[in-house]
Structure 1
Amino acid sequence: MRNSTMEYKVNQAYEELKRLIQWNPNSEEKFLQKMVCLLLPGQRKCWPEAIRDLRQSFEAEQWMIFVEKYRGKLEWLNSISLAELQRKIGEIFFVDHYKMIADQFLYKKDFETSLFLRIAMETGIRSADIPCIEWSCMHGKTIILEETKRGDLYKKVNGTFPKISTQSLRIMKLLHRKQGKIFTKSNEYYVRKISCAWGMPGFRIHSFRDYRRKIEMGITAGVQVPRIIPL
């Protein structure tokens, strides 16, 4: 089966769906909905039935059942490259994929890399500056880097600084208590590990900063068609 065929592309989408559901079983229904919206754009009337069909083919581990029934509606995939489809999948599942990767690192007890990824996502702080974060930079959940470490770069218009989540703060406290510091490796080390775990071509660590900046601007990021994707 060639990479350019519609069947191969649907199979790649199906494999990504399996991977997401494996790590986030409680979100299975949401993932099924999003995948149908991606594979059958502009086919709103058939989405409810298609979601049921995709669920059945997923449970039976027979993805070709879905392909055969919706072959005509899936032909548009022949007009785009595999890389373009992977980019679309990456955009739609960006947040879910991030959560899965962060949880994977926690599961493997790689707390530093998980925290690095979480800070990048939650704050938009540049990857080069994250290893510079020390316990003295923490003011509750707020991160204020020294100005010599470009802390002023992250000051918002309203005068506030970026904050991390409660869980990220717990991980940070654990690391500081255990090893006396938060990060022990270089920026390149964490970025390389995250890139390998991400598993999709075109990964950019700056995507997290872009995402956070768009959120702060009031723009839904990571999903190009937010109005038609059920949440």
Structure 2
Amino acid sequence: MAVEMTGKFIQKESPKSFSHSEMAEAVLETLTLPAVVSKDECIYCFESPYNEPLALNASPKHSLNICLNCFQATCNRHVPLHTRVTEYACDTIHSNYLTIAKVEKPKQENVEENNNNKKIKLQVIETSEDDTHNTIWSLQRFNGENVPRTVLLKSTDPDISSTALEKIEKILKAKSQDFEDKKNSWVLEISTCPHTENFQIPSKPENTVNLNQCSSCDLTQNLWLCLHCGNIGCGREQIGIDGHS
């Protein structure tokens, strides 16, 4: 571009345009990955990235978009909502997403299954998700509602840099937020009951107690031992009887 000033022409440089791969490198270079990443279901609904085996050249029906700002996962329907919420709450627009879809691998028939003389054995085999699913991903930029997204990088691109691939692999292999929540909810905590803290061992009963039969009837099953007096009673209930325990 040339601009005339006082009879002279000054060459003005045009703004430099960046390729999609360069834009992807810039996005990934500044990322700081958290310890856990939400990547199992949409935070606004229950959409997941898992798909059954696909036909040839078919596109996955289910996918999730991992926000590269807050590392929360949203489905395609709720990406616009997420950008609006974060714009007002964080004063920044969360526009860069790693879109993932997990496609189940076709099950291969085991040759041994056709062998009638095969040995039957029980064993526990540890498998990872990479053994059962293929992961399809793309780095996308959200440009606004009703506007096509810009795909900066795809898992099928032949010339992905090692730096970008390493960063994306770390996101895909990061600990799952959903798994961590479930694991923490199932942590067994044992605390002392106040009844056991104040429990006093009763004195030995004067008469020998038969631990094999109810002291009030001949029942020998479902017996209960009173920890205060040592009485053995049953728990059966009949008409007019509340039980001997």
| TM-score bracket, shorter-length normalisation | under 0.3
Please state which structure has a larger fraction of its residues in helix: 1
Name the TM-score, length of structure 2 as normaliser: 0.19
TM-score, normalising length from structure 1?
0.20
Instruction: Report the structure, 1 or 2, having the larger strand content.
Output: 2
Q: Which has the larger radius of gyration?
A: 2
